[in-house]
Amino acid sequence: MAEKHIQGKIVAVCGKGGVGKTAFTTMLTRVLKDDPATGRLLVVDADPAMGLLYALGVDTSKSIGAVREKILEAAEKGTAGEKAEVAEQLDYLILNALQEADGFSYLAMGHMNAKGCFCSVNDLLHDSLAQLVNQFDTILIDGEAGIEQINRQVTDHVNTLLLVTDSSFRGQQTVKTIEKLVADGYVPACERMGVVLNRIPGDERSNEDLKKVFNLPVYGFIPFDSEVEQFDRRGESLMGLPAGNAALKAVRATIAAVDASER
């Protein structure tokens, strides 16, 4: 039997912009998709900037935001028949926004352009997304710095929340802010959370000092990697990193640490 990692789980990745969160999520996707224990993998890009799209090398212009706009347009301008037709097509529209890639599926939340409160529309989307999510064994969510949009849009349940930061003061403060939001109940079903330190020099003493900054467990140390930077600079997908890449190996170790924390 394949070794169990974070299969059958919902994993959310958050962190301040510029700390390499998207690169980490991409490498995490690479490691998970190559592990048979992961099962069916869905990667959800909950960041409106949709930067994960390019890092993964996925080619799509579809998003849940576009589906939402279509529903809103029917709600505001459509006839009763047109509204009913859109409601009946909702599951199909969401499924159509799903992009199949090599070893995983990808779903972009996209931009939500309309202003104001559209609770009924959001509830409708949430219910349909919940049905879709239940078809996968592992869900990996790439979010913004905050976690509210993950809880509101994608799922009511997060098994593991990974807070990615570099060694900067602002990155560390973002982690502490998110920790407080979780403690205050913004994600009541979050079972565990920990820190992933990214783009660090790799000095053991420095790593131990960084650990002391947080009240949370530190699951991983991802070193600054020139090969990752070169891929990014050339616009190449990080899914193509060689198996022996140092950063990729560190991501594998991070998954092992998450797994160990469950026992």
For the ranges 45-59, 89-103, 114-128, the lowest mean pLDDT is seen at 114-128
What confidence score (pLDDT) does residue 178 get? 84
- Mean residue pLDDT across the chain: 81
Q: What's the rounded Cα separation, in Å, for the pair 175 and 200? A: 16
pLDDT in tens, 136-186: 999 998 886 655 555 555 666 788 889 999 989 998 998 888 888 777 776
Q: Can you name the residues that pair with 207 across neighbouring β-strands?
A: none
Is pLDDT of 1 > 80?
no
What confidence score (pLDDT) does residue 106 get? 93
pLDDT in tens, 60-85: 778 887 887 777 777 777 677 776 77
- Angle among Cα 262, 104, 59 to the nearest 5 degrees reads 135
Strands in 10-14's sheet, in edge-to-edge order, are 99-100, 105-108, 41-45, 138-142, 10-14, 160-165, 192-200, 218-223
The CA distances from residue 197 to 32, 90, 99, 103, in Å, are 19, 40, 30, 27
Is pLDDT of 33 > 90?
yes
Residue 85: strand, helix, or coil: helix
Token pair recorded at residue 110: 């996209």
Q: Are 153 and 126 in contact (CB under 8 A)?
A: yes
